[in-house]
A and B are shown apart, each in its own frame.
Chain A
Amino acid sequence: DGGITQSPKYLFRKEGQNVTLSCEQNLNHDAMYWYRQDPGQGLRLIYYSQIVNDFQKGDIAEGYSVSREKKESFPLTVTSAQKNPTAFYLCASSPFSNSPLHFGNGTRLTVT
């Protein structure tokens, strides 16, 4: 069954620690994306990658880093430089064309 897997579903970290969120897809999609959702807000783009070994900053990239070493995987690291890291993080993918995004079920990160 093809899809996007985000793990874990819930993640708790102490302030000052880096944390990496996993995103894996078996849809053979070229493009992958990371979004952040805050209560009462729309989805805001953090980073996206249209091809392996290449990625671009989105609207709110500060305090985040990504890598795209494999087509299937696009992990997101939330660094200690991110001022408000507590949020719901969504990973998505799409074929490299004018096609809708497919989303994972998200990871809720809580930093205390």
Chain B
Amino acid sequence: DQQVKQNSPSLSVQEGRISILNCDYTNSMFDYFLWYKKYPAEGPTFLISISSIKDKNEDGRFTVFLNKSAKHLSLHIVPSQPGDSAVYFCAASAMNYGGSQGNLIFGKGTKLSVKP
């Protein structure tokens, strides 16, 4: 059973508009969430993270929102740029329950296409 779900395999957005990527999780012990961005034939690169003690974290054009009661997080990219076109992975871990980076659970990814 998938503990981290990214239900949209793909998303297409016009340049300059907002991109919203969604992620749902089932394990209530998850308390640390990350987003990674991946280009073809390359390794993922870390984008932004959020701890469960927060409900929002912002870094430039990227903002992650966490709704613990709904077990849902989202990544907002504003404004979207063609260079943002990549696969975005959501990942979660139960860091305060004996977990570690070795217990990161990844979603299947959402492929974002930003059209000029």
- The residues of A with any CB-CB pair to B shorter than 8 Å are 4, 6, 9, 31, 33, 35, 40-45, 48, 50, 56, 58, 90, 92, 94, 98-106, 108
Inter-chain contact total with CB atoms closer than 8 Å: 62
| CB neighbours of A45 from chain B (8 A) | 102-104
Contact B43 A104 (CB under 8 A): yes
> Is A106 within 8 A of B108, CB to CB?
no
Q: Please name all residues of chain B whose beta carbon is closer than 8 Å to the beta carbon of A92 when the two chains form the complex.
A: 43
Chain B residues with CB under 8 A of A100: 34, 46, 49, 101
User: How far does the alpha carbon of A33 sit from the alpha carbon of B100 in the complex, in Å?
Assistant: 12
Residues of A within 8 A of B101 (CB): 31, 33, 48, 94, 98-101
> Which of these, B4, B103, B108, contacts A41 with CB under 8 Å?
B108
A31-B4 contact in complex given A92-B43, A103-B44, C-beta closer than 8 Å:
no
Q: Is B30 interfacial (CB 8 A cutoff)?
A: no
Q: With A33-B101, A43-B89 as given contacts, are A105 and B42 in contact (CB-CB < 8 Å)?
A: yes
Q: Known contacts A40-B108, A41-B108, A42-B89: does B102 contact A31 (CB below 8 Å)?
A: yes
